[in-house]
Amino acid sequence: MTATIVAQQAINGIVLGSLYVLVALGLTLIYGVLVQINFAHADFVTLGAFAAYFFMHVLGGSYLASIGAALVVGAVLGWAINVTIFAPLRRKGSELLPLIATIGVSTIMQNAMLSLFGPVPYAFETPYSQKVFRVAGTFFTLQSVIIIAVSTVTIALLYAFMKFTFLGKALRAVSQDRETAGLMGINPNYLIMLTFILASALAGMGGAMLAPVLVLTPFAGTTVIVKAFAIVIIGGFGNVEGTILAGLLVGLIESFTTQYLDPGLIDIVVFGLLLLMLAFRPTGLVSERREENV
């Protein structure tokens, strides 16, 4: 019985964790290339969720297609924030100004969504949440199978892209040393744009898949993004493997805290872990070169 509960919570944790990984990977990619944080990433998640909602419930599209729609919305937003905020401020060379500007963009987006969609939560129902499988005493919904499949494929594609394609290698080169990469004939501006589009598409997608489990309001992304920040730091800023590991870990912490402690303690446990990591091992689970911020 206990073994079944543990197995069930492990499944729940991994499903949730893989969604956190999608959102956190975007932050990690941007940090790796630009050493910048995008606070509006939260609202890309929210807008992705709303895009999927309207695509499905108003336009009558299928759920899988709505994930694609959210991905496109995310990608467009990523392009837009790079053009309007990060590209102009990059020339000024300040570390904190872009971060503060993205807080501004985030406030704009949240309140714009608030006046458009209202504060009442939207009920996001997918046809797959009702289909339940039973395997050895544990329950899966078809929805969670889709989440695992889509996020695993996405993360694997991203990983392969970073490791094996020329563009991916160029991207890693830029994140290691932007100037030298420039000397090798890589155009950093083009790659930075690519990173933003990729990262934000992941956020939009994550939003579409998180929507059925979130309380879908204009502020939904904020609760996800603070966890994503914790994940990025626990995993080691800018480190892809660490982010994947930490994302799954936070998903598991969340499901086991709900089972054995109290759902209200989730954020306290996650951020307690974050502060402990920052105090004792600020380079993250998988440590890497970047230490100038510590």
Partner 1 sequence: MSDAAATRQAYRSSPRRYAFLAAALAIAVLPMVLTGNYWQTNLTVCAINVLLALGLDFILGYAGQLNLGQSAFYGLGAYVSTLLITKLGVPFWGAFAAGVAFAGLAGMILALFAVRLRGHYLAIASLGFAVIIHQILLNWISLTQGPLGIYAIPPPPAIAIPGLPVIDFRNPVALFYLVAGFALLTYFILDQLVRSPIGETLTAIREDDISASSLGINAAAWKVFAFGVGAAVGGAAGCFYATFVGTLVPDAFFITESFTILSMVIVGGMGTLIGPVWGAILLTLLPELLRGIGDLRLVVYGVALTLVVLFMPGGLVQAAQLIRSKLTGAR
Name the region of 60 (left: φ>0; alpha: ψ -120 to 50; beta: rest): left
Beta bridge partners of 141: 132
Query: Tokens 């599209």 label which residue?
Result: 61
Nearer to partner 1 (CB atom), residue 92 or residue 289: 92
Contact 199, 26 (CB under 8 A): yes
Query: Residue written as tokens 């964790």?
Result: 17
Q: Tell me how many residues contact partner 1 (CB under 8 A).
A: 49
Show the DSSP H helices in the chain as ranges.
2-34, 41-57, 63-81, 87-90, 96-117, 142-164, 166-176, 178-183, 188-210, 220-235, 240-260, 266-280
Give the footprint of partner 1 on residues 212-241 (CB under 8 A): 219, 222, 226, 229-230, 233, 237
Nearest residue (CB) to partner 1, 119 versus 127: 119
268 part of the interface to partner 1, by CB under 8 A: yes
Q: What is the smallest separation between the CB atom of 81 and partner 1, expressed in angstroms?
A: 11
Q: How many CB atoms lie within 10 A of CB 264?
A: 9
CB 3 within 8 A of CB 205: no
> Taking the complex as a whole, how short is the minimal distance between the CB of residue 109 and partner 1, in angstroms?
8
Q: Tell me which residue of 122, 85, 120, 127 sits closest to 106, measured CA to CA.
A: 85
Q: Which amino acid is at 28?
A: T
Query: Is residue 106 at the binding interface for partner 1, with CB under 8 A as the rule?
Result: yes
Q: Which residues from 20-79 bind partner 1, rule CB under 8 A? A: 31, 35-37
Q: Are 224 and 210 in contact (CB under 8 A)?
A: yes
CA-angle at 208, arms to 199 and 106, nearest 5°: 55
Q: Does position 115 bind partner 1 by CB under 8 A?
A: yes
Report if residue 97 touches partner 1, rule: CB under 8 A. yes
Q: Does 275 bind partner 1 (CB under 8 A)?
A: yes
Of the candidates 59, 62, 88, 131, which one interacts with partner 1 according to CB under 8 A?
A: 88
Of 89, 145, 193, 213, the one binding partner 1 by CB under 8 A = 89
Q: Is 132 in the site for partner 1 (CB under 8 A)?
A: no
Shortest CB 163 distance to partner 1, Å: 26
**Cβ–Cβ under 8 Å, residues 45 and 53:** no
In the structure encoding, which two tokens stand for residue 70, read together?
């959210």
Q: How far is the CB of 86 from partner 1 (least distance, A)?
A: 11
**Closer to partner 1 by Cβ: residue 196 or 229:** 229
112-120, 152-160, 186-194, 196-204 -> range binding partner 1 (CB under 8 A): 112-120
Q: What is the DSSP letter of 82?
A: I
Amino acid at 158: L
Region near partner 1 per CB under 8 A, out of 4-12, 135-143, 171-179, 267-275: 267-275
Contact with partner 1 (CB under 8 A) among 164, 183, 279, 289: 279
Q: Is 11 in the site for partner 1 (CB under 8 A)?
A: no
Is-contact 181 20, C-beta < 8 A? Answer: no
Residues contributing to the site for partner 1 (CB under 8 A): 31, 35-37, 85, 88-89, 92, 94-101, 103-112, 114-115, 219, 222, 226, 229-230, 233, 237, 262, 264-265, 267-268, 271-272, 274-275, 278-279, 282, 293-294
